[in-house]
Amino acid sequence: MRLRGELLSIVLILVGLIPGLALGHMVLPVNLEEMTESAGLIVVGRCADVVPHRGAGAWFPEVEVTVVAREVLKGTVAGPRITFRQIDLEGRKPRFVVGEDLLLFLYPPSGLGLTSPVGMTQGRFVITRDPVTGRHMVSNGGDLQPLLRGLRADRLEKARQAAGVNSALMLAPTARQLDLDLLRVLVHDLLSPH
């Protein structure tokens, strides 16, 4: 009888998760200030390894991701190789690809040692080189306009100048890429005491 009660509890938990999983695209937009504040670790690096992981007593499959850090913008790490675990719900974002250059905003690890990018895919930026300008650009696969919501115009202009970004490259109303140096300067500015 106790086993049936536990099984019923598990089923109810999973049923409660299904609408959230099916409607995962309904995660509220997070701006850069909220993302920076919520992150326990902000790192620029390259994905070195992605392996399925089944922790002792884990209820859900997990994935273990290793990133070789080139720069840590927030948080502390023991060395250049950063390994973290997150729940791996098949077919769900964010996915990690070995060899991909990334800018990650990761939540602090939970009591189970799990983490994920802040705002789901919003905190996972793929870094590419713009073929025209040669500059490094970031994209999280969505519209980046909400990311800069709430930032003062003078803060944006100061960051644009410090990053050496042409004003024409800032953000179009439906921008899907942002200059990495601009984002880096903005994060440093948000983290510095004023």
pLDDT value, residue 121: 86
Average pLDDT of the chain to the nearest whole number: 81
Q: For 110-129, how does the pLDDT look when each residue is reduced to its tens digit (9 = 90+)?
A: 988 889 999 988 999 999 99
pLDDT value, residue 108: 96
Give the long-range contacts of residues 10-17, CB within 8 A, separation 24 or more. Answer: 10/59
pLDDT value, residue 127: 96
Q: Is the pLDDT of residue 179 over 70?
A: yes
- The rounded distance, in Å, linking the Cα atoms of 124 and 95 is 9
Q: For 68-109, how does the pLDDT look when each residue is reduced to its tens digit (9 = 90+)?
A: 999 999 999 988 999 998 887 665 556 889 999 999 999 999
Cα separations (Å) of 153 from 36, 135, 149?
Answer: 18, 23, 10
pTM: 0.81
Percent of the chain with pLDDT over 70: 76
- Which amino acid is it at 89? L
Q: What residues does each domain of the chain span?
A: 2-191
